[in-house]
Amino acid sequence: MSTIPIHQLHEACRRALLALDVDERSASALAHATVEAERVGNSAVGLAHLFDYLDGFRTGRIDRRPRVVVESPAPTMITADAGGGIAQYAFGRALPDLLHRTREYGMAALWIRNSFTVGELGYYPRTLANEGLIAVAMANSPALMSIGGSSSRILGTNPIAYGYPQPGRLPLVIDQASSATAFVNIRKAAERQESIPRGWALDHDGRPTEDAAAAVDGALLPFGSHRGGNIALLIELLATLAGGSFSIGAPPFDSGSEGPGIGAFLLALDPTRLGSGDRAQRWLQRITAEHGVRLPALELETLPDQVDVDDELVDRLNRYANPD
């Protein structure tokens, strides 16, 4: 493992993207989101996941210089067409309008469509919570998960995340897939020839499996059986409402030359409109102090200025950043 300062990791990520002729604005947005995932401890969708983006740019699955179009079909509704690019850049383009409309009307929603997979979903509500807003985010992805007893891949891992502002400290951010685990964890176990817990996935023939390699060719399972599947279905419907690809028809994110074109949905609310003050923050402090509630999201007090990164990932990143 190597300990790398945040600014150094950000610059290395940015240079790796620029070396592939990625637009400066997209490169900066993705580098920032990648480093933030590492800082909050969500490394599965941090630097390790950046190589999916790098390969996507290299093969044409992601547009290097997308034309993002932001529109408002109603006073509290915004759409951002990512133009085949990354969701992080489309979100950044729509963010000023989303903040303005949320503060003007008390709440507003944003739909992103025609984008590559969203990366760390918590990045989006965290950004809004840092602006003092409550936010919920949902996204679909290429089909990887079975629902309703099907042996086929029907939905993506369809994550949901939310952010709640806590004045004077980091916001509360929860980010989770609706599958029993994220696909990147299955892929990592397969690469290391490790087994996976029963209940995570099915094999190609629809049978429960503990073989990670068989799970890669099969289908993930939702968390909590049909309950997780129900949530994943809601996410699918909301994320694709403005025209994003449905999971079952979306090209894979890690192969081929065509991007998945999936969708994301974000809802932002201004809590000051309800005059609740610090009531929720005091309640959160109470359940931790008096009832022993322990959640990593509540215990995260600061973001580190440096992170530990696997040496192999650092070497791969440097090869991209310094192709000569």
Burial class, 172, CB count within 10 angstroms (exposed 0-12 / middle 13-18 / buried 19+): buried
Query: Which residues neighbour 71 within 8 Å (Cβ) at sequence distance 6 or greater?
Result: 78, 79, 80, 81
Query: Which residues neighbour 194 within 8 Å (Cβ) at sequence distance 6 or greater?
Result: 212
DSSP 173: E
Radius of gyration of the chain (CA): 19
Query: Among all chains, which residue has been given the structure tokens 């503990």?
Result: 210
Confidence of residue 277 (pLDDT cuts 50, 70, 90): confident
Burial class, 251, CB count within 10 angstroms (exposed 0-12 / middle 13-18 / buried 19+): middle
Residue 248 identity = I
* pTM of this structure: 0.94
Cβ pair 123, 274 in contact under 8 A:
no
CA distance 216 to 254: 12
The answer to whether residue 324 scores a pLDDT higher than 80 is no
- Look at domain 2-179+222-277+298-321 and name its CATH class: alpha beta
pLDDT score recorded for residue 185: 87
The answer to whether residue 319 scores a pLDDT higher than 80 is yes
Average pLDDT, the chain: 95
Please compute the mean of the pLDDT values over residues 263-289 and round it to a whole number.
Answer: 92
Question: Can you read off the two tokens belonging to residue 270?
Answer: 């201004």
pLDDT in tens, 10-64: 999 999 999 999 999 999 999 999 999 999 999 989 999 999 999 999 999 999 9
Q: Select from 161, 67, 155 the least CA-distant residue to 114.
A: 67
Q: Select from 79, 63, 7, 1 the least CA-distant residue to 36.
A: 7
The answer to whether residue 276 scores a pLDDT higher than 80 is no
Residue extents of the structural domains in the chain: 2-179+222-277+298-321
Cβ pair 7, 319 in contact under 8 A:
no
pLDDT in tens, 204-256: 989 999 999 999 999 999 999 889 999 999 999 999 999 999 999 999 998 88
pLDDT score recorded for residue 70: 98
Count other C-beta atoms under 10 Å from residue 316's C-beta. Answer: 17
Count other C-beta atoms under 10 Å from residue 16's C-beta. Answer: 27
The better pLDDT of the pair 167, 123 is held by 123
Query: Among all chains, which residue has been given the structure tokens 């984008």?
Result: 115
Burial class, 73, CB count within 10 angstroms (exposed 0-12 / middle 13-18 / buried 19+): exposed
For the residues of 199-256, what is the DSSP string, one character each?
TSEE-TTS-EE-BHHHHHTSEE-BTTTHHHHHHHHHHHHHHTTTSPPPGGGSPPSSSS
285 to 54, 118, 136, 166: CA distances (angstroms) = 41, 32, 22, 11
Confidence of residue 301 (pLDDT cuts 50, 70, 90): confident
pLDDT in tens, 155-203: 999 999 999 999 889 999 999 999 998 888 898 899 999 999 999 999 9
